[in-house]
Amino acid sequence: MGGIALAASSLAAQAADPFPQAPEHDLVVRVCSGCHVPEMVTAKRHTAEEWDDIIAKMVDHGAQATDAQQEQILAYLVRFYGKPAGS
């Protein structure tokens, strides 16, 4: 009984958090899943330049992150959801 409930809740937690583990993980989850589902972030790959623009746009929308945190988020997104420029 307890085991099933535990399994179900850890599955739900995984479904709600598609982001790979990394030092910046908690920051990205906190800053980038407040307004929309995280899948909004993970759906498409972008170049570093595109991610930089997207993060700036999200900050305009009201995302709460310092400049240093935005740098960390950018590094994370480029690492896991980047694509080479020009493709």
29 sits near ligand HEC (criterion: CB under 6 A): no
Residue among 15 and 53 whose Cβ is closer to ligand HEC = 53
Closest approach, Cβ 51 to ligand HEC, in A, equals 7
Q: What are the E-state strand segments in 1-87?
A: none
Asked whether the beta carbons of 58 and 32 are under 8 A apart, the reply is yes
Which whole-number Å values give the CA distances from 30 to 1, 47, 63, in the listed order? 32, 22, 10
Residues at the contact surface with ligand HEC, assessed by CB under 6 A: 31-32, 34-36, 40-41, 54-55, 57-58, 61-63, 73, 77
